[in-house]
Structure 1
Amino acid sequence: MNNSTCSRRSLVKGMAGAAAFAIVGGLGLAGCGDPAAKADGSAPSDAAFKIGVLQLTEHPALDAANKGFVAAVEEAGIGAKINQQNAQNDQSACQTIAATLVNEGCDLILAIATPAAQAVAGATSDIPIVCTAITDFAASGLVKDNDAPGGNVTGTSDMNPVVDQIDLLHQLAPEAKKVGLLYCTAESNSKIQIDLAAAELKKLGMEGVEYTASGSNEVQQVVESMMGKVDAIYTPTDNTIASAMTVIASIANEHKVPTVCGEVAHVEAGGLASLSINYEELGRRAGEMAVRILTEGAEPAAMPIESMGAAECDLVYNGQTAEALGIDVTSLVEDGATDVSAAE
């Protein structure tokens, strides 16, 4: 793993979903969905597009993806009304909000996280849908093929550099024999990552042991049951696990069990380290795709799912956690890793 090539862009937090319209691009409230306004595949200077956003829940990674998307749309200056909606991790709310956005006649809908995307895709086959923070679009039933979506859905994938993350775990905990693979059974994308992690652990001579929770209320009990049975923990980019990461880290750190994580917010919450997708950049790329759809007539069906390689990810660690666990992170510092505990 060549960590020295990783991007050091910092993850910006803080855009919570709000059920209100935000005007971006500095333009007026012209009618949305006007065929004449986009008949030639371009947008007149006084046009205003209506973009609906459905975010699954408030979480630093998803908030950052949202922020990046809005920034890209704003910088394009196309004139857009953005209706921000947050389902607060409620599946039924996802369905209701998706139907509402479709009925409002949005020109395009952004869906953040897999359950939100599945709800929107189930509500319309006509309105262009751009998604972000989704591990595998095809495996989640959102597109026919990640390289050739074939429908009205496209976007950016947060497929982790799982192999590199497991290599990072091995680097930081070389004596570990059993690794707890912690995820929520309700999130299909998590299982994809867990299978990749288990395969890499086997190659490195370690054993991956799956520990699952069906919801956030089960996580604490599951983590407590892991103590004394595993030498380290791996957490994928799992929304349920992310919401409970402070509890997970508290228990694991107390028992001197290092946790290598799927993304930076887990590390900020007390995990040890990650080679993390930059979610603001991921959202920005989704925003650029949306702009091409709205102003250039690009078709989602022909827009391959975009992803970030390991060399574009952020190498991060929590210095306070490393100190508490007695783990030497000199090699990470030499590779240019960012200590996210320094920003706390």
Structure 2
Amino acid sequence: MPSFTRRSLVALLAAGSLGLAACSGTPSATPATPAATASDGALKVGIAQIVNHPSLNDLRDGFKEGMAAAGYVEGSDVVYEERNAAGDQTTLTAIASSYATKDLVVAIATPTAQAMIQALPDTPIFFAGVTDPVGAQLVLSLEDPGGNVTGTSDFPPVADQLALIKEILPEAKTIGLLYSSAETNSHIHADLVKEAAPALGLSVQEATVSNSSEVAQAAESLADVDAFFIGTDNTFVSAIESVVQVAEARQIPLVVSDPDSVARGALAAYAVDYRAQGVQTGTMAAAMLTSGGKAGDIPVERAKDLELSVNPGAAQRMGVTLPQAVLDRAEHTIG
């Protein structure tokens, strides 16, 4: 991914909305985890995420794994406080304010990182699961983030994701793009999809939602497409079962950017290994703590591991057969 200048950042921001996710259909926000017994000198780390779904949970757990591998033992060297906003922006803002006394904060997903950065100008912040840190105005550039922020990006392999749809459905002409109008990362991913689709002979129909209660209705509104596609969208992923039901009923294959959604009924995903990205982020944070440097001086890293996951059972329920070539190169076959 090329670096971005301030001018390109302004252009990106002007091109799309910078709203935050609001998933009113998600469970209530989780309270703070109890602090583990630890010595007074233990590092105090706050971990925040916008909603509860497996990939974001993998980022959280992977971060702690990366820190542990670097020698930070939970309960003695480091104490974690974990909070989940359940898609509510007011709750997310409150979580950010409550983390003002932390030594380091982990922000999982784009809306979370935006809230943490706004509230915590002096606390080192490491984000994970952020699609475009520059476009979301989190950093000045990938090479030189600036300020008190750095982390890892799950910038999507959009051309390869759409090519997978064509490989599974060679006759496909139209894809139904589903995303939240309230998530910066989703606007960025959607724009990339619309740019890449014509080269593969695909047109795009889109339906957006503002919260998870609208997910099923949005999918139902795209009845004439050849395939559904969902990018790195927290609102849709948190309610993926609603889209799966529509995909099966309408016999429309569902391809996603979230590997855990395949286990929940989607057809396929070519996507980041989120547990590995969490470990990568934890390793970066541990290195900064060891060196005594500043977060903003550490270049943002792209996720290093991309994997193909497929669900033959879901394919059958959606009326398609996965090509043998796809099955042969899949790292994960589910169902």
The normalised TM-score by structure 1 is 0.84
Look up the match of 1:52.
46
Read off the aligned partner of 1:174 and give its amino acid letter: P
Deviations 1:281-330 (A, max 9, x none): 11111111111222211221211111125xx2111111111122232331
Q: Kindly indicate whether the alpha-carbon contact (under 8 Å) linking 1:194 and 1:236 is maintained by their aligned counterparts in 2.
A: yes
Query: Residue in 2 aligned with 1:145?
Result: 141
Which of 271, 276, 289 is residue 276 of structure 1 equivalent to? 271
Which residue is equivalent to 1:11? none
Which secondary structure state, in structure 2, belongs to the residue aligned with residue 246 of structure 1?
helix
**Structure 2 counterpart SS, 1:144:** coil
Return 5+ residue gaps in structure 1 as ranges. 1-15, 32-47
Letter in 2 for 1:253: E
Deviation at 1:337, TM superposition (A): 3.6
Please name the residue that 1:242 is paired with: 237
1:84 to 61, 82, 85: 82
1:286 to 258, 281, 288: 281
Choose which of 94, 97, 101 in structure 2 pairs with 1:96.
Answer: 94
| Equivalent residues in 2 for 1:151-170, closer than 5 Å | 151-170=147-166
Distance 2:206 2:330 in 1: 32
| Contact in 1 for aligned 2:312/2:322 (Cα 8 Å) | no
The one-letter code matched in structure 2 to 1:20 is: T
Query: 2:207, 2:221 within 8 Å by CA — same for their partners in 1?
Result: no
Match of 2:67 in 1: 73
Q: What is the alpha-carbon distance in structure 1 between the residues aligned to residue 292 and residue 324 of structure 2?
A: 50
Question: How much has 1:21 moved relative to structure 2?
Answer: 4.2
SS at 1:20 equivalent: coil
Query: What amino acid is the match of 1:246?
Result: E
The structure with the larger Rg is 1
Q: Output the CA distance in 2 between the equivalents of 1:22 and 1:278.
A: 29
Deviation at 1:75, TM superposition (A): 2.2
The answer to whether the 8 A contact 1:17-1:63 is kept is no
Q: Which runs of 5+ in 2 are unaligned?
A: 1-28
Which residue does 1:303 correspond to in 2? 298
CA distance in 2, matches of 1:117, 1:328: 37
Deviation at 1:340, TM superposition (A): 2.1
CA distance, structure 2, for counterparts of residue 189 and residue 336 of structure 1: 26
Partner of 1:219: 215
**1:161-220 Cα deviation digits (max 9, x unpaired):** 111101101100111111111101001111111111122210011101121111111111
Alignment of 1:132-211 (within 5 A): 132-211=128-207
* Count of residue pairs the alignment pairs up: 302
Q: Pick the aligned partner of 2:325 from 309, 331, 334.
A: 331
Q: Which amino acid aligns with 1:293?
A: M
CA RMSD of superposed structures (Å): 1.6
Query: Structure 2: how far apart are the matches of 1:18 and 1:275?
Result: 33
Q: TM-score, normalised by structure 2?
A: 0.86
Out of 35, 40, 47, the residue aligned to residue 30 of structure 1 is 40
Q: CA deviation at 1:94?
A: 0.7
Equivalents in 2 of 1:123, 1:308: separation in Å? 26
Is 1:315 aligned to 2:275, yes or no? no
Amino acid at match of 1:84: E
Give the share of equivalent positions with the same residue, in percent. Answer: 36
Give the counterpart letter for 2:93 in structure 1.
Q
- Partner residue of 1:9? none
Q: In structure 2, what is the Cα distance between the partners aligned to 1:17 and 1:67?
A: 16
